Amino acid sequence: MSLVNVTNMAVLSNPSPFSSPLLFEITFECLQELTDDLEWKVLYVGSAESSKHDQVLDEILVGPVPVGINKFVLQADAPDRSCIPDSDLLGVTVLLVTCSYREQEFARVGYYVSNEYTVPYDAEVGPPKPLDVEKVQRTILADKPRVTRFPINWGDEQQEQQQTDTQQEQEQLNDDLIDENEEEEEEEEEDDESMDDDAEIDLDLDDMEPSHTQTQSLPNSTFQSPGKRQMISFRTPNLVTPGASGEEDGTHMEM
């Protein structure tokens, strides 16, 4: 189970000139106090042909992180134009925002980025060379992020959280069993009171006046007095087995 969940990421100042900084408003939830800081990183893919053109635009540490909902604005510098091949400056590329704990990446949010030249040019000839970066507009497809979560070892914090969850589940189970036992005892008391009301009543025949009504005897008849019957209800408590977090390695989902 992850102790930190990214709940929202908003791209600010979008679209914007290629040379302007990138701004992200990040909201995340921390389930338990962490002993170390969170490491956030912004990565720009300069070329699809080789990773040597990838650029780390910014890398910051956030902490100490309080328990609950947290929000901050992450600002990163624009990509270095000199590190991007001319053939890859325009078109579509990828921007990544990652979060790590103790050098373990557990969350990655990816965006497609479209870079367009704002000055009209002949499509057959192509844009002028060299390109004027000030005339390039950057548009991040903020409404279609790709979120990937990775399971990591949170250390003592994760173990303490699991112990707390297990203890809460056990306490809830014990409360349910106590409630069921109390209900069974109440039902048994009600049954005993009902049977006491139906107890046999002795009649003194000598004190009764003779009746003028003719009666007939029923030969070979047997009368059976109802005996007391105790009702015991056995119930099997619904045991809730805690399941997995539902997040697999490299699972992709829309945010």
Q: Give me the amino acid identity at 187.
A: E
Per the prediction, the chain carries an average pLDDT of: 76
Query: Is a pLDDT exceeding 70 seen at residue 191?
Result: no
Full DSSP string of 28-74 = EEESS--SS-EEEEEEE---SS-GGG-EEEEEEEE-SPPSEEEEEEE
Q: What are phi and psi for residue 160, nearest 5 degrees? A: -65, -40
Asked if residue 23 has pLDDT above 90, the reply is yes
Polymer length in residues for the chain: 255
> Lowest-pLDDT range, 98-102, 149-153, 177-181?
177-181
pLDDT value at position 165? 63
**Going from the N-terminus, what domains does the chain have, and what CATH number goes with each?**
4-160+249-253 (2.60.40.1490)
Check pLDDT > 70 for residue 161.
Answer: no
pLDDT of 81 strictly over 70? yes
Task: Count Cβ atoms within 10 A of the Cβ of residue 18 and give its class: 0-12 exposed, 13-18 middle, 19 or more buried.
Answer: buried
Inform me whether the pLDDT recorded for 243 exceeds 80: no
Q: Average pLDDT in the 197-223 region? A: 40
pLDDT of residue 95 exceeding 80, the answer is yes
Q: Considering only CA atoms, which of 141, 137, 113 is closest in space to residue 47?
A: 113
